[in-house]
């Protein structure tokens, strides 16, 4: 099905199942421990062995000698994989570094070996007996030091130059120019990267934790030199990904190599201390914001320049991206530069680009508002735009940023905020409020599904879409139930298997909208097949309450399949609407903090997110997604930082003892408001996505609240108390 004209009234608009707050249908399996994750596929293959990875102890250089004798002689050892016996390995499209080192080492904890043994304990013990000697090369590990070596990554975000920024900025009555920094951050998902691999002849099956099945089938085939049809990925349950599992990592390749060498199934899970350096992370950024405005607050010039670092074939963190679209202004410069670093690979993490970009832009907006003596919300509203500021012929399909800000201000009690920093106290606590705008683009990815009407009238859905804890099982079941006129209990959903039709996968906030649109397309075909089978060939049949109705004729849906199941398969393909309209989601984040007047300790007391993100398919799971994202934003603001050892080139705090993330008790109250919105330009579902919008701008709202509470303006994340202490107002 091609989606090339705006959606009109369709079966989804009945809203009998779609749009209802619905419990996740896989919830009982997960809460009872019956949902088998990748490492727990105990029945999937018999006689499983265990693999433990050995990571490189240097950041850059070469392996000069590897002694495996002691490890081979250890109890239970079946095989040891190294570059010497792995065969020729390619490199996947989505990997910057090779997933198995040798002899070259490209980053710290790059895999150098896998020890396979009868038990996990035996494999772990033997892995300690692998002796590796290295020749170390000089590396670059400090972004600030190599910033000037940055180059324009034209294929990702070419410089945006609109109007004449330099002239407009120089002429602006009010000017602003500041530089900010965000640190490297880890995904810190609950489930580690894990894979079980089994060979049957030349056919490889991987049970793995992966967000994007089709992408990863291709990269595994490329890496191992196999035809794609010889690789099957199965990933029914994923314990969090946040972008860290978009691409294959060392666990999947090592498990496949180990299984081939040991001639039996092998499972590999990366130990928590290996994940930060072996897998991907959100890269650190340095960002400079310049703004010029008229005396009444209209932006006439805006420049957002950013620098991030990565391995030679890595990508830039597109942090300047939000400044292309969020605010009006006829003269602008947006640029990103990629500098060479020898740290582990940087790549996508929840809302890549927008998260670090809005961490900076939305502080700058508050700072500029203060210069102009304007309320921060008033300043943002004053610079709203209903068209793409660079391509003014492209209107936004929906843009309700002003309504998000105004609705949030009313619900949060913004009128009670004292604009003078450091003036509101409750005992020892300094109280402040902060706000930030949010934007995340609506990405559209082709997505397919297969649906069947079974003999008993139930509907089966198959698609390689994944559920990373986001509720994919439920919204896909809701879509099929709505389309076929049955109850949710009459739909069975199978996900995460490369033998199913290719879906959008889970990433970029596009998964919910695109995967359900693919199910919609398949269901439309199934409806046609059903009506043809029932002889209802004239007019529009209505599917409801397990019946098919045309005029006065009512027939049970199951009757169509009494002589055999009916199956249909289709994909949603998005055409040129995305070129005609700028499609984005918008939000506003409000935060209240309390800061200890003596120590500078920060407590987040309450948070509110107001989101305009198209039709909300399941308000219950969508709310959970936004609250989770808000919590991640607090972590990024106050505590999350992968500390770089700039001498040896690795992340020092590479476990959850040293890499701190928020917990439930850190934020007593979180609230989410969804504006009632549909976007017929987006898809037949009229939805968009919300899982990443929820983090966009949150950290800046926290920073702005801290400033309002204390007068401490921090431009270097995370905002730890040592950065606040010197700016605290005098003790009373």
For tokens 């030679």, name the residue.
Answer: 312
Which residue among the candidates 362, 367, 692, 716 is catalytic per the annotation? 692
The two tokens of residue 315 are: 């990508």
Query: Which residues are CB-contacts of 719 (< 8 A; sequence separation ≥ 6)?
Result: 602, 637, 638, 702, 703, 706
φ, ψ of residue 302 to 5 degrees: the values are -145, 130
Q: Given phi > 0 = left and psi -120 to 50 = alpha, else beta, which region is 329? A: left
Other CB atoms within 10 Å distance of the CB of residue 171? 13
> Going by C-beta distance under 8 Å and a sequence separation of 6 or more, which residues neighbour residue 658?
643, 652
Q: What three-state secondary structure class fits 550?
A: strand
| Cα–Cα dist 675/615, whole Å | 9
567 belongs to the catalytic site: no
Contacts of residue 694, Cβ cutoff 8 Å, sequence gap at least 6: 438, 587, 609, 611, 625, 626, 627, 628, 629, 630, 633, 672
Contact of 448 with 468, CB cutoff 8 Å: no
Minimal CA–CA distance to 691: which of 519, 520, 512? Answer: 512
- The neighbouring-strand residues paired with 587 are 438, 611
- Closest to 681 measured CA to CA, from 460, 454, 531, 517: 517
Calpha distance 696→237 (Å, rounded): 26
Q: Are strands 459-462 and 491-494 parallel, antiparallel or unpaired?
A: parallel
DSSP 415: G
3 state SS of 706: helix
Distances (CA, A) of 15 to 18, 117, 131, 522: 5, 54, 62, 19
Residue whose entry in the numeric block shows the structure tokens 């309320």: 375
User: 512 CB contacts (<8 Å, ≥6 apart)?
Assistant: 470, 471, 472, 475, 617, 687, 689, 690, 691
Name the phi and psi angles at 553, rounded to 5.
-95, 125
Q: State residue 148 phi and psi, 5-degree precision.
A: -70, -10
Say if residues 262 and 47 touch (Cβ distance below 8 Å).
no
* Signed CA dihedral, 126, 129, 134, 139: sign only: positive
CB–CB of 400/585 below 8 Å? no
- Kindly list the catalytic residues: 692
């Amino acid at each position: 099905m091609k989606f090339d004209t705006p959606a009109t009234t369709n079966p989804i608009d009945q809203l009998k199942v779609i749009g209802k707050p619905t419990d996740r249908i896989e919830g009982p399996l997960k809460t009872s421990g019956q949902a088998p994750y990748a490492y727990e596929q105990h029945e999937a293959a018999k006689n499983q062995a265990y693999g433990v990875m050995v990571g490189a102890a240097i950041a850059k250089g070469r392996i000069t000698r590897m002694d495996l004798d002691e490890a081979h002689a250890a109890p239970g050892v079946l095989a040891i994989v190294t570059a010497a016996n792995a065969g020729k390995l390619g490199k996947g499209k989505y990997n910057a570094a090779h997933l198995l080192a040798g002899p070259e080492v490209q980053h710290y904890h790059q895999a150098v070996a896998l020890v396979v043994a009868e038990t996990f304990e035996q494999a772990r013990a033997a892995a300690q007996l692998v002796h590796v000697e290295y020749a170390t090369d000089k590396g670059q590990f400090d972004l600030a030091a190599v910033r000037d070596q940055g180059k324009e990554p034209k294929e990702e975000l070419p410089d945006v130059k609109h109007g004449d920024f330099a002239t407009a900025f120089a002429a602006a009555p009010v000017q602003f120019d500041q530089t900010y920094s965000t640190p490297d951050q880890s995904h810190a998902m609950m489930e580690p990267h894990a894979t079980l691999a089994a060979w049957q002849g030349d056919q490889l099956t991987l049970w793995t934790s992966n967000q994007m099945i089709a992408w990863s089938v291709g990269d595994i085939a490329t890496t191992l030199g196999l035809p794609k049809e010889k690789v099957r990925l199965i990933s029914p349950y994923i314990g969090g990904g946040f972008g860290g599992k978009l691409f294959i990592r060392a666990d999947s390749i090592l498990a496949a190599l180990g299984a081939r060498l040991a001639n039996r199934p092998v499972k590999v899970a990366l130990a928590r201390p290996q994940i930060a350096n072996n897998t991907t992370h959100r890269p650190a950024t340095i960002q400079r914001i310049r703004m010029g405005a008229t005396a009444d607050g209209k932006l006439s010039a805006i420049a957002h320049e950013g620098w991030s670092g990565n391995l030679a074939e890595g990508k830039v963190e597109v942090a300047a991206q939000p400044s292309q679209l969020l605010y009006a202004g006829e003269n602008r410069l947006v640029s990103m530069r990629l500098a060479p670093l020898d740290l582990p690979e940087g790549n996508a993490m929840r809302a890549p680009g927008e998260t670090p970009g809005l961490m900076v832009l939305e502080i700058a907006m508050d700072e500029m508002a203060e210069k102009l003596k304007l309320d921060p919300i008033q300043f943002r509203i004053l610079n709203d735009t209903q068209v793409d500021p660079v391509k003014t012929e492209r209107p936004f399909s929906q843009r309700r940023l002003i309504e998000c800000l105004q609705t949030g201000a009313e619900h949060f009690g913004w009128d009670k905020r004292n604009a003078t920093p450091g003036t509101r106290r409750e005992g020892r606590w300094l109280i402040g409020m902060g706000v930030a705008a949010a934007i995340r683009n609506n990405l559209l990815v082709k997505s397919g599904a297969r649906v069947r009407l079974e003999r008993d009238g139930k509907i089966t859905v198959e698609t390689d879409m994944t559920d990373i804890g986001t509720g994919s099982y439920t919204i896909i079941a809701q879509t099929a139930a709505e389309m076929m006129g049955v109850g949710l209990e009459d739909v069975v959903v199978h996900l995460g298997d490369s033998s199913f039709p290719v879906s959008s996968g889970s990433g970029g906030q596009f998964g919910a909208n695109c995967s359900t649109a693919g199910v919609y397309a398949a269901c439309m075909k199934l409806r046609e097949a059903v009506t043809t089978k029932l002889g209802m060939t004239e007019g529009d049949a209505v599917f409801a309450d397990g019946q098919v109705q045309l005029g006065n004729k009512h027939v049970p849906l199951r009757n169509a399949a009494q002589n055999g199941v009916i199956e249909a398969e289709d994909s949603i393909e998005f055409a040129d609407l995305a070129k005609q309209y700028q499609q984005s989601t918008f939000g506003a984040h409000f935060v209240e903090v309390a800061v200890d007047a003596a120590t500078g300790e920060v407590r987040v007391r309450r948070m509110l997110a107001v989101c305009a993100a198209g039709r909300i398919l399941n308000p219950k799971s969508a709310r959970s997604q936004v609250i989770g994202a808000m919590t991640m934003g607090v972590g990024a603001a106050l505590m999350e930082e992968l500390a770089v050892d700039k001498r040896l080139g690795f992340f020092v705090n590479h476990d959850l003892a040293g890499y701190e993330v928020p917990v439930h008790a850190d934020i007593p109250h979180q609230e989410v408001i969804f504006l009632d919105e549909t976007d017929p330009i987006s898809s037949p579902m009229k939805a968009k996505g919300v899982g990443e919008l929820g983090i966009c701008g949150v950290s800046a709202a926290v920073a702005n609240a801290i400033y309002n509470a204390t007068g401490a303006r921090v431009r270097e994340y995370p905002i730890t108390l040592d950065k606040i202490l010197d700016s605290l107002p005098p003790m009373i």
